[in-house]
Amino acid sequence: MNFLSTFVTFENLHEVRRLCHWGPVIALSVIAICSTMAILDSIIWYWPLDTTGGSINFIMLINWTVLILYNYFNAMFVGPGYIPLGWKPENHQDAQFLQYCRVCQGYKSPRSHHCRKCNRCVMKMDHHCPWINNCCGHTNHAYFTSFLLLAPLGCSHAAIIFIMTMYTQLYERISFGWSTVKIDMSAVRQVQPLMPFSVPAFAATLFALGLALGTTIAVGMLFFIQMKVILRNKTSIESWIEEKAKDRIQHYQTGEDFIFPYDLGSRWLNFKQVFTWSGTPKGDGLEWPVHPKCHQYTLTIEQLKQKADKRVRSQVQYRAVEEYNGACCPLNKGLQTFFRTPCTEEPRIPLSKGDTILATRGTKWWMYGDKVLSEEQMRAGERIRGWFPRRCVEKCHYDTAASDSTSDKKVN
């Protein structure tokens, strides 16, 4: 019993629950279908024991599957790395340059952001990925990007196997005429394959081919997007912060020259910040090497400026005029609201008539904002924000509560 417990008991056993989510279920299903069909079709098309080429093809196929799963599970279970709860900078005076997180009861270190899904402040957060049901951040960025590279390569190899299997198996069963193509699936071949290529096998191969090609295109595009930000030593969130910094400087004509602090000036040096031979990224996730003209808090100071500017320019007060139960796709709010629901895992907030909301962004049919809470709720650190249908609210012609509802203390 003690021998068994050494294998079963480990501190991250609770992380297995990340598999119980639609993202990993779909991702692992696609991997399983493509890998299984590729192995079976390899046996039909290019029997690995007959030729050297067949053996190499089969070994490469197994190799893709192992590497894809290795990087996928590492990206999921190693995790992005979290800021310790209640973290404070060593120099207490530096706290003025940082945002405070009420949920984690601590300050956000440079490059960190609070994830509402993980309910923690994440080191060097890039985004929360539903396919791994975890954040992509400091410690798993290399695993996640490697997965994005290996998945299209493996699916491309599988797609070639699917195409060649269908071609070789159907070649002698297809007769071409001037105006018609006749496929006789019942034709008997002179040499029977080890495994029969029946109509269900053809349908399954065609389905797997569609999955493989779709994965190659979609995941391949994500890989190039990730490499673009990695070679500049940025994250997706930091790219957005940089764009907003330029907009703020242009809007107020401040004459500032914003320099992104973490770009080391060389793509190779930026690349090595994420990818190392050991698999462990450089740094502790709290302090970072910076540009000579910048310091540790250059980006966090810019974030504070953007937060203040957002309160001045973006927050508009609205009052709820219709009830809303918080459904993702409400049927009773119109067809456009139903079909144009935001494609995001960000929450929806239920509304009652008379509720006041400070909207910060929106689309033609939906809006996103913070619900104005009572003083007791605010003292308790409660915050309710999310999406709601635009038709459920109307713009207030006064703005008396906006100043009362925002705190001078920076929160997530």
**Local structure of 85: helix, strand or coil:** coil
Its sign, for the CA torsion 92, 93, 99, 100, is: positive
> From the CA atom positions of the chain, what is the Rg in Å?
27
What DSSP string describes 273-309? HH--TTSPPSS-SS-----TT--TTHHHHHHHHHHHH
CB contact at 8 A, 263 and 273: no
Q: Measure the N-to-C terminal CA separation of the chain; round to a whole number of Å.
A: 46
Catalytic residue selected from 115, 129, 155, 392: 129
Strand pairing class (113-115; 120-122) = antiparallel
Q: Is 136 a catalytic residue?
A: no
Contacts for 295 with CB less than 8 Å, ≥ 6 apart: 261
CB contact at 8 A, 113 and 172: no
Q: Tell me the C-alpha to C-alpha distance, in Å, between residue 262 and each of 50, 142, 259, 266.
A: 54, 17, 9, 11
Cα–Cα distance for residue pair 10/82, rounded to 1 Å: 19
Please list the active-site residues.
129
